[in-house]
Amino acid sequence: MKHNVCLLEAVNLALASEMRRDEEIITLGEDIGVNGGVFRATDNLRDEFGVKRVMDTPLAETMIAGLSIGMASQGLKPIAEIQFMGFIFPALEQIICHAARIRNRTRGRLSCPLVIRAPFGGGIHAPEHHSESTEALLAHIPGLKVVIPSSPARAYGLLLAAIRDPDPVIFLEPKRIYRSQQQEIDDNAIALPIGRCFTLKEGSDITLVSWGAMISETLAAAEALADSNIKCEVIDVASVNPLDMETILSSVKKTGRLVIIHEAARSGGVGADISASVAENALLDLQAPIARVTGYDTIMPYFRLENHYLPNSQDIIDAVTQTMEFV
């Protein structure tokens, strides 16, 4: 059945689809039951599946992670919501030291089929802990997959894949685009692959690589640059761990130029890792230095100052223009 939905509704659709298919799936988190979540991502799930499968928890991220790992190690398939990514830090000991290591620690005797969902990123003019974009911190951890959708269709398909994965997946939902676009998707239970980039726009002059909410600005910049006869290839990373460098390298070898766009802080980011990998593997194919358009190495500023922190389409256009002019 086809549905015209926003990203938030696509998440809800995928959760309901998988919970109907598999009775071992349990959802838990702060306010996800009675209230349907702070953004309503789990709206109506409690009514359909009951309190034993849609569980409200105390405000205790360490407990949510620990309980979920215990469930996952004993045959259940928990989907835990951390209300905002900025609240995930108390849970990191459980996630890094246990969830990410169970398969290796037990030499494959146990796995941890756990999904941790968290809204992340700026753009809603909230306090700092509600606007974090620290995906690089989690992508650095062996044993964790880190997935970031950029559209309703990818949210639906990638969440299905995350739930079906036998190992822990961090599913980061860019809340700035939760409701900003509608897309017709088929509720057909077909998953998209984790660890694969998506080429959203073909081009021959320059490669633009981004993920999450910044895909919207990147596509807008690519459309504007087309008016100047600059043909941009736009790649949605979608999975920052595992990272599909093969697709990125193939594109860079074709275009010879690369701009990487993300809203996270510049230093130590996923963009820096992509840049290093391209320099190591495709240096002689580059016709200009790699450019990065990123957030700043500061804590996300409050409220309206977010607009000055977050990269925009003009920033991307300027970086592309400068890259194209390099001789």
Q: Which of 3, 125, 129, 130 is catalytic?
A: 130
CB 24 within 8 Å of CB 77: yes
For 297, other C-beta atoms within 10 Å of its C-beta total 10
Q: To the nearest 5 percent, what fractions of the chain are helix, strand and coil?
A: 40, 20, 40
Q: Which two tokens stand for residue 44?
A: 């109506």
- Give the angle 238-243-244 at the CA atoms, nearest 5°: 85
Active site residue 125: no
CB 288 within 8 Å of CB 326: yes
How many residues in total does the chain contain? 327
Instruction: Give per-residue burial for 37-63: e unless 16+ CB within 10 Å, then b.
Output: bbbbbbbebbeebeeebbbebeeebee
Residues known to be catalytic: 130
